[in-house]
Every structure is written in structure tokens, then in C-alpha cells.
Amino acid sequence: MTRTLIAGNWKMNGLKASLGEIRDAAAGVGQGKAGVEALLCVPATLVSLAAEATHGSALKVGGETCHGAESGAHTGDISAEMLADAGASHVIVGHSERRTDHGETNEIVAGQAAAALRAGLTPIICIGESLDQRKAGETLEFVSSQIAGSIPEGAKAEEIVIAYEPIWAIGTGEVASPEQIDEVHTAIRSRLAERFGADGAGLIPLLYGGSMKPGNAAEILEVTDVNGGLIGGASLKAADFLAIYGQAK
């Protein structure tokens, strides 16, 4: 059975003063519920503090990116090993904002995901099309190419998570329709089955990201092959994050 994951992505938000929200989220998650995992991915400056704040609860802490190398002359970067050492269990790789702002290619993302696995972290590998690609009818072809290029060789199905985030819906208030989500998630599962077999593909949580909020989460989470969400702004407030977590099955 595919596990469900509700993951927050704080992006470049959060100071020490924000730890209260993390503690509230941890208290709300408590010991968790069967089959549903809860995760907050926070800026690197907060990973260690967040891990302390969530200790004893089922709420996990993750990073928002990592470098492919274990160490070295990479000023300003953070390795997967550093995140694990700080208390992270997961890391987001390949988010469209990283692909766009930092020129991260599928090859780079695959290297980051491999680094996460090397360090014992679960990589959340992000894929998704632009509005122009959707209008041109290129969504499935583009997403399939990202899957093929961003999952590292040797990765096992039970070790990874895939997040589909249509770029045109990230932080815009726009949300893909249930029909659009269903079409893409079905195609993703099919591509994964070609690589990992049907049983293996069924072990990989497929998250939807793109303006998921308490008010639309239930409808999205009911879509076949949606196994959770990668949530941006709505994860910054414990009440909103917990409202979405509470709707997950």
C-alpha cells in the first residue's frame, strides 16, 4: 500500500521566531496516524532547531535542497550529510524554483537525489511543466523526460518520493483541476512502472504541489494516485498545515 505524505515547503521563510509554529505543528501531529506521514522542510538555518522542536512527535523535518557532493569547495552549499547530521530525514530536490533560479538540470537533480540516498535521506524529486508547455500539449512528454532524467540510477522504489508541481500553479493561487491532476499522476505512475515494475511503482508516493490549501486539499487528495501534497505557503501556519494533514488518509 502506498504511504501518504503531507510535506510542507517553507522556501526562504522562517526565523527562530517561527519555531512556535513548528512546535504547534508537532503537537498537533502528536504520535501521528496510521499510513500518513507529516513533514516540514525548512531553511537550512532551522533544520537543527526544528529537529529539536519536533522531538518525540511524528512530525519529521527535511531540507529544501542539497549539493551532490559530500563535502568540498562549494561555498554556500549544504550537503545531504550535513542535513542528516542536523536531524533531517528528507530533502526536496529539483523544485522548479531551483531549476529556474539556479539552473539545476535533470542531471544535477539526479546527482542531488543520489546524494540524499547516500546520506540516508529520502529525496522528494520535483517535476512539473510550465504554462507554455501545458498550452502546447507537451505536459506528459515533458514530465516523462524529467522522471527519466531526475531519478538516479540504482534508486529503489521504496526510497524515493515524486512531487508533481505544475509551475503555473505554484504560489499563484491557480490549482490544476482534478482531471488534470489525474491525467498527469496516472502517466507518472505508468512511467514509474516501466522502470520499477508495477509493484515497485506502487510503493512510491506521488504528491501534488501547487497552491494546495485546507479548502481544496480534500478534493485533490481524493484523486487516484495522489498520495499527499507538497505544500508551500499553507505550511507556514501550523493551523493550515494541520488542517491539510487532518484530511489525508
List, for residues 52-64, the tens digit of each pLDDT value: 999 999 999 999 9
The count of C-alpha atoms lying within 13 angstroms of the C-alpha of 85, restricted to the half-sphere facing its C-beta, is 8
Residue 47, Ramachandran bin (φ over 0: left; ψ between -120 and 50: alpha; else beta):
alpha
Choosing from 64, 81, 90, 95, the catalytic residue is: 95
| Residue 210: per-residue pLDDT | 87
The pLDDT tens digits for 109-164 are: 999 999 999 999 999 999 999 999 999 999 999 999 999 999 999 999 999 999 99
| Residue 1: per-residue pLDDT | 74
For residue 51, is pLDDT > 90? yes
Asked if 165 is an active-site residue, the reply is yes
| Residue 174: per-residue pLDDT | 80
For residues 164 and 71, what is the distance between their CA atoms, to the nearest angstrom?
A: 30
Asked if 21 is an active-site residue, the reply is no
The pLDDT tens digits for 167-204 are: 988 878 887 899 999 999 999 999 999 999 999 999 99
Q: Which three cell numbers stand for residue 57?
A: 512527535
Choosing from 21, 64, 129, 165, the catalytic residue is: 165
What are the respective helix, strand and coil percentages of the chain, to the nearest 5?
45, 15, 35
In this structure, are residues 138 and 144 in contact, taking their beta carbons and an 8 Å threshold? no
| Residue 112: per-residue pLDDT | 98
Element (H, E) at 99: helix 96-101
Question: Is the whole-model pTM more than 0.95?
Answer: yes
Secondary structure of residue 178 in the 3-state scheme = helix
In this structure, are residues 166 and 145 in contact, taking their beta carbons and an 8 Å threshold? no
Q: Which three cell numbers stand for residue 210?
A: 501547487
| Residue 237: per-residue pLDDT | 98
The pLDDT tens digits for 55-111 are: 999 999 999 999 999 999 999 999 999 999 999 999 999 999 999 999 999 999 999
